[in-house]
Structure 1
Amino acid sequence: TFACPIFSMTGAVWTRQGSRVIQSIQNASSRRSHTALKSEYDVLVIGGGRNAAYLQKGGLQTAVLERRHVLGGAAVTEELFPGFHFSRCSYLLSLFRPHIYEDLELKKHGLKIYRRNPHAFSPMLEDGVGGAPPRSLTLGSDMVLNRKEIGKFSQKDAMVGHFRAAQPLLDAPPVDIIGLTSGSLRTRITAAKTLMPLVKCGLKLGKNIPDFYEIVTAPIMKILNQWFESEPLKATLATDAVIGAMTSPYNPGSGYVLLHHVMGELEKEKGSWGYVEGGMGGVSNAIASSARSHGASIFTEKDVQEILVGPDGVAKGVVLKDGSEIHSKLVLSNATPYVTFKKLTPQASLSPEFIKAIDQFDYTSPSMVLWMYKRTSTHKHKNTNKHTHSLSLIHYGGFSFDRPMLEMTIPSVLDPTLAPPGAHVVSFFTQFTPYYLEGKEWTDQDKEAYADLVFDWVEQYAPGFKSSVVGRDILTPPDLERIFGLTGGNIFHGSMSLDQLYLARPLPCLSNYRTPIKGLYLCGSGCHPGGGVMGSPGWNAALAVMADMKRS
């Protein structure tokens, strides 16, 4: 049985307002149970701060200021309709760094994960042979079953292990080029320590360094054509090479995007992905609970209007939208580089050259997110009789309104807390969609038409699907920007292209999390190592802060 209930957001104004009232009451209650916002702290973190616990543990009185009524940035759970809970933006967990998971004792603070197995189900539109159903490809954790599945299309293909040697680079700031090439001998010796992650990466790779280099820089289809024969397998793997990226699997650099998506792990299972119980807000809530247990303060509905910069060019705190000032010794921004420097930082504090460089950072987004809920249905899926929670319909091209690329997940198959009995919540991550439609903004009619197109494609694979839909929430790139602060709607806080990685993320002069404003640091996904719910940017930024505190 292909079970997945769904919903149409016409008339969703009431449900969103009702949800906001419910969540505001809950958040108000939560705020009352904690200390009130003070006028001064050691550190202020703008936006959800995964580094707040580390800064607080380091002896810095830390406060997190979240703009929205719900904590977590893009990793949130929202009740868009009574009884239905949606991971409204980020929807899966894998990249979160294991050492942070353990350091913050997230299990103790309520984090529970349902592993996604099988990982992917890719159905095919074809006529079955001899009365058999159409073929499909299912991949999971069992390598024996994977080979059996692949064997339906090709006996020559073999599963090839993904390189994870880049992991040492995730848990440390990039190489300190300025420190290595200038300054005192002591400064150069200290900077030389930043080479160690590169050395570890190289030692892990050994003789595979040329292969690794090729994977990172090449079009992923070049690599997959070398490794595999069957089109369904190559298409399934290539999907992770374009997720969230305005690129094609035939473009250079798409190999790195795939690498970025497969380098994670969950509870020591390499490459595993999973759903968080209660939705992705469960991650943010567990991190917040951990931070509070160490004494950090966390506040919602505190919208920062401006970063205070003194005449000496040093960050002094922030001004909120209500006009109140909060002072601090340090400010860390989890917002995108564009928001941080173009909207929050006084422009007179930055050089014209720096502002121009910030304007060149690419935030192009190809993605739309659709969430829906639906009644449980008993219609048969044409390609399987299994109850699956992840399905990919793969077509590649430009801006795609005829045959969009779809990743469909049904987390409530594994997590019963997300929907009432007899119903499910369903998500679609779709590509490729532009920020503007032929030079004009998306209208409600445009969004509804696109959602109908998505459902029409699913209907071809699972007849009866559309009739089970109860309602839907449609988020275009502008919606992702407006609601979650994702500049351009880019889920990674900036494209993960080769020119915007490692030493160049977001700019060569910003790759070590420090900014031209003394006391102001970046700590979001716009920094190395990039997007995804992984915690590394916040961890690395905290390391930079603590190192600077020791030197001062």
Structure 2
Amino acid sequence: MTGAVWTRQGSRVIQSIQNASSRRSHTALKSEYDVLVIGGGHNGLVAAAYLQKGGLQTAVLERRHVLGGAAVTEELFPGFHFSRCSYLLSLFRPHIYEDLELKKHGLKIYRRNPHAFSPMLEDGVGGAPPRSLTLGSDMVLNRKEIGKFSQKDAMAYGEFNAYLDKLASAAQPLLDAPPVDIIGLTSGSLRTRITAAKTLMPLVKCGLKLGKNIPDFYEIVTAPIMKILNQWFESEPLKATLATDAVIGAMTSPYNPGSGYVLLHHVMGELEKEKGSWGYVEGGMGGVSNAIASSARSHGASIFTEKDVQEILVGPDGVAKGVVLKDGSEIHSKLVLSNATPYVTFKKLTPQASLSPEFIKAIDQFDYTSPVTKINVAVDKLPNFLAAPSPDGKPGPHHQCSIHLNCESVEVLETAYKESINGKYSTRPMLEMTIPSVLDPTLAPPGAHVVSFFTQFTPYYLEGKEWTDQDKEAYADLVFDWVEQYAPGFKSSVVGRDILTPPDLERIFGLTGGNIFHGSMSLDQLYLARPLPCLSNYRTPIKGLYLCGSGCHPGGGVMGSPGWNAALAVMADMKRS
């Protein structure tokens, strides 16, 4: 790919310009603050904004040249701007959106409708195109689409959506509050227990909203998603399309317990009061992070890039005192919040002598397994799908969707998963393809587009060995060969590609294991046990050190809740002291 080689060289020039611009925008880094936040991902920025609003002089220290962590925009090839890691918005909490006035600070969202497009890899009948399944907010059109495969499923789909919405809505109070304070409830003074009892309220609200649906909620949280889907539907394309949201980002099978919760987690969101809606951020996902950063700065927060933290300073009294940067400089603070993964926080940044061997061992057990390889692609023309031809080159409604390829049946997904757990990448991978430039023209030159592939399943080690550049290129070629079957001409349209395997996601974005959620969203790593039972309230064994990233409750996705909840914990502790 000579074009890709040339554009990678161009991207280095662009990056150096961005670096220079980033340095010029800095205010001077002081030697002391009330609060230091390690990592400029969206949760760290949310925490910083609220703590600064609360009167604490707060500084954010980001390792990379660009803000955003995984919610970042990068110009990888000249004129092509990518949401390089996370790529869609839905889960961001509405109250944070309003509190921080993100619209005022430049956040613009393009809502998608329809939402999902699953073309079939089959011959059309009587000269007609192959079948496809398109789902959106119009239930009449949904029934018509599903009816191509099953009239029974077409009639059941509306009720299923209402069922999911009822369960997801009931869980909302749990997202915006720390988990129940078990230690406070079971020990300490009467005053402590009374204060801890307040942490039960979100759980009570959830139970009251569920009412007689509590057994349904328990089932979907604990069950394999296929147990649920088989109760409702019979058509394979519909079940496979829905099952993708139950395994996306997770090294799991649709037949494994807990995959039902992953689906529920992905339907909990809303965009501008439209429940379950997903959308693109203008300018890419960095637009979210930049808007939060702008809001934080408007209240007086200091935000720095290219400030790589080497170590958290811990005094002889076991209290966090600040950080040491890679250049050796010390920045002191009363409090430190880490937006890094729990593994990075406690195994790489915290002095090991400050932690007990038992705690370190528990941290080592936290699961970061990731199945994801992200491929960002610059193309010079719009993909043309056999199942929904667009010979004039103009985008159709299906181009704005999450396009599910290799989604004809659940068995295809299951086979892909089984290949990966044996240390190989899937020979027919699960592909979620998005083309945000269809709605957002700022992302690519006229007539060209940016394409994102969120692919599964790929292991961290390939048959026990590290990925080579040749392995990565071979896997991307395999992905493109599959895309070509659905959209002939795609391969010839590619002018550049950026391939991010799990080790790449770890190296570039600090995502341990390449896990986009800062740790698997498995049943043993949720709510009271996220990331560990002793860490579920954002406080750590080091006094003055808090976690605020997606490794905390309620987990991954660009939602801001871990940052918000961590800020609440800090402010509560400040009032007590």
Contact kept, 8 Å, 2:118 with 2:134, in 1: the verdict is: yes
Displacement of 1:134 in angstroms is: 1.0
Q: SS where residue 86 of structure 2 aligns?
A: coil
Contact kept, 8 Å, 1:393 with 1:405, in 2: the verdict is: no
Structure 1 residues 220 and 398: CA distance shift in structure 2, 3 A: farther
Contact kept, 8 Å, 1:110 with 1:286, in 2: the verdict is: yes
> What CA distance in whole angstroms lies between the structure 1 residues aligned with 2:424 and 2:205?
39
Structure 1 residues 162 and 394: CA distance shift in structure 2, 3 A: farther
Contact kept, 8 Å, 2:400 with 2:439, in 1: the verdict is: no
Displacement of 1:17 in angstroms is: 5.7
Describe the superposition over 1:239-263 as per-residue Cα deviations: whole angstroms up to 9, x where unpaired.
0000000000000000000001111
More helix by share: 2
Residues 150-549 of structure 1: pairs in structure 2 closer than 5 A:
150-158=146-154, 166-366=171-371, 399-400=425-426, 403-549=428-574
Displacement of 1:382 in angstroms is: 14
Structure 1 residues 133 and 446: CA distance shift in structure 2, 3 A: same
* Structure 2 segments unaligned to the other structure (5+ residues): 163-170, 372-397, 405-409, 418-422
Q: Across the two proteins, how many residue pairs are aligned to each other? A: 527
> What CA distance in whole angstroms lies between the structure 2 residues aligned with 1:100 and 1:350?
34
> What CA distance in whole angstroms lies between the structure 1 residues aligned with 2:174 and 2:576?
24
Matched, 1:40 2:32: yes
Contact kept, 8 Å, 2:460 with 2:502, in 1: the verdict is: yes
Contact kept, 8 Å, 1:162 with 1:259, in 2: the verdict is: no
Contact kept, 8 Å, 1:511 with 1:528, in 2: the verdict is: yes
* Structure 1 segments unaligned to the other structure (5+ residues): 1-8, 367-380
Displacement of 1:117 in angstroms is: 1.4
> What CA distance in whole angstroms lies between the structure 2 residues aligned with 1:210 and 1:279?
40
Runs of 4+ that moved beyond 3 A: 9-34, 158-165, 381-395
Structure 1 residues 333 and 13: CA distance shift in structure 2, 3 A: farther
Contact kept, 8 Å, 1:87 with 1:280, in 2: the verdict is: yes
Describe the superposition over 1:494-514 as per-residue Cα deviations: whole angstroms up to 9, x where unpaired.
000000000000000000000
Contact kept, 8 Å, 2:32 with 2:331, in 1: the verdict is: yes
> What CA distance in whole angstroms lies between the structure 2 residues aligned with 1:358 and 1:325?
26
Contact kept, 8 Å, 2:41 with 2:67, in 1: the verdict is: no
Displacement of 1:301 in angstroms is: 0.3
Contact kept, 8 Å, 2:424 with 2:459, in 1: the verdict is: no
Contact kept, 8 Å, 1:43 with 1:60, in 2: the verdict is: yes
Structure 1 residues 199 and 383: CA distance shift in structure 2, 3 A: closer
Displacement of 1:471 in angstroms is: 1.3
Contact kept, 8 Å, 2:40 with 2:339, in 1: the verdict is: yes
Q: SS where residue 164 of structure 1 aligns?
A: helix
Displacement of 1:133 in angstroms is: 1.2
Structure 1 residues 317 and 15: CA distance shift in structure 2, 3 A: farther
Describe the superposition over 1:182-207 as per-residue Cα deviations: whole angstroms up to 9, x where unpaired.
00000000000000000110111110
Structure 1 residues 417 and 390: CA distance shift in structure 2, 3 A: farther
Contact kept, 8 Å, 2:144 with 2:154, in 1: the verdict is: no
**More moved, 67-76 vs 19-28:** 19-28
Structure 1 residues 247 and 399: CA distance shift in structure 2, 3 A: farther
Structure 1 residues 326 and 218: CA distance shift in structure 2, 3 A: same
Structure 1 residues 24 and 191: CA distance shift in structure 2, 3 A: farther
Structure 1 residues 304 and 233: CA distance shift in structure 2, 3 A: same
Q: SS where residue 498 of structure 2 aligns?
A: strand
> What CA distance in whole angstroms lies between the structure 2 residues aligned with 1:505 and 1:223?
25
Describe the superposition over 1:331-356 as per-residue Cα deviations: whole angstroms up to 9, x where unpaired.
00000000000000000000000000
Structure 1 residues 344 and 76: CA distance shift in structure 2, 3 A: same
> What CA distance in whole angstroms lies between the structure 1 residues aligned with 2:572 and 2:542?
17
Contact kept, 8 Å, 1:46 with 1:334, in 2: the verdict is: yes
Contact kept, 8 Å, 2:41 with 2:71, in 1: the verdict is: no
Paired-residue identity, %: 97
> What CA distance in whole angstroms lies between the structure 1 residues aligned with 2:400 and 2:510?
39
> What CA distance in whole angstroms lies between the structure 2 residues aligned with 1:321 and 1:67?
10
> What CA distance in whole angstroms lies between the structure 2 residues aligned with 1:258 and 1:323?
45
> What CA distance in whole angstroms lies between the structure 1 residues aligned with 2:5 and 2:107?
31
Structure 1 residues 33 and 124: CA distance shift in structure 2, 3 A: closer
Contact kept, 8 Å, 1:382 with 1:461, in 2: the verdict is: no
Describe the superposition over 1:259-314 as per-residue Cα deviations: whole angstroms up to 9, x where unpaired.
01111000000000000000000001001000000000000000000000000000
Q: RMSD of the TM alignment (CA)?
A: 3.2
Structure 1 residues 277 and 393: CA distance shift in structure 2, 3 A: farther
Displacement of 1:25 in angstroms is: 3.6
Contact kept, 8 Å, 2:322 with 2:330, in 1: the verdict is: yes
Contact kept, 8 Å, 2:281 with 2:287, in 1: the verdict is: yes
Structure 1 residues 162 and 420: CA distance shift in structure 2, 3 A: farther
Displacement of 1:116 in angstroms is: 1.7
Contact kept, 8 Å, 2:7 with 2:496, in 1: the verdict is: no
Contact kept, 8 Å, 2:250 with 2:520, in 1: the verdict is: yes
> What CA distance in whole angstroms lies between the structure 2 residues aligned with 1:407 and 1:196?
38
Displacement of 1:130 in angstroms is: 2.0
Describe the superposition over 1:380-432 as per-residue Cα deviations: whole angstroms up to 9, x where unpaired.
x999999999999998x9841xx100001111111100000021110100000
> What CA distance in whole angstroms lies between the structure 1 residues aligned with 2:16 and 2:71?
18
Structure 1 residues 354 and 98: CA distance shift in structure 2, 3 A: same
**More moved, 538-547 vs 30-39:** 30-39
Contact kept, 8 Å, 1:264 with 1:270, in 2: the verdict is: yes
> What CA distance in whole angstroms lies between the structure 1 residues aligned with 2:367 and 2:413?
30
Displacement of 1:57 in angstroms is: 0.4
> What CA distance in whole angstroms lies between the structure 2 residues aligned with 1:484 and 1:384?
26
Displacement of 1:50 in angstroms is: 4.3
Structure 1 residues 382 and 45: CA distance shift in structure 2, 3 A: closer
**More moved, 526-535 vs 150-159:** 150-159
Q: SS where residue 389 of structure 1 aligns?
A: helix
Contact kept, 8 Å, 1:394 with 1:406, in 2: the verdict is: no
Displacement of 1:141 in angstroms is: 1.2
> What CA distance in whole angstroms lies between the structure 2 residues aligned with 1:156 and 1:398?
38
Structure 1 residues 322 and 297: CA distance shift in structure 2, 3 A: same
> What CA distance in whole angstroms lies between the structure 2 residues aligned with 1:464 and 1:286?
38
**More moved, 114-123 vs 492-501:** 114-123
Displacement of 1:144 in angstroms is: 1.1
> What CA distance in whole angstroms lies between the structure 2 residues aligned with 1:294 and 1:391?
47
Q: SS where residue 339 of structure 1 aligns?
A: helix
Contact kept, 8 Å, 1:56 with 1:62, in 2: the verdict is: yes
> What CA distance in whole angstroms lies between the structure 2 residues aligned with 1:219 and 1:413?
35
> What CA distance in whole angstroms lies between the structure 1 residues aligned with 2:326 and 2:357?
26
Contact kept, 8 Å, 1:391 with 1:408, in 2: the verdict is: no
Contact kept, 8 Å, 1:390 with 1:409, in 2: the verdict is: no
Displacement of 1:14 in angstroms is: 6.3
Structure 1 residues 385 and 230: CA distance shift in structure 2, 3 A: closer
> What CA distance in whole angstroms lies between the structure 2 residues aligned with 1:432 and 1:320?
36
Displacement of 1:26 in angstroms is: 3.9
> What CA distance in whole angstroms lies between the structure 2 residues aligned with 1:528 and 1:82?
38
Displacement of 1:467 in angstroms is: 1.1
Contact kept, 8 Å, 1:23 with 1:70, in 2: the verdict is: no
Displacement of 1:82 in angstroms is: 1.1
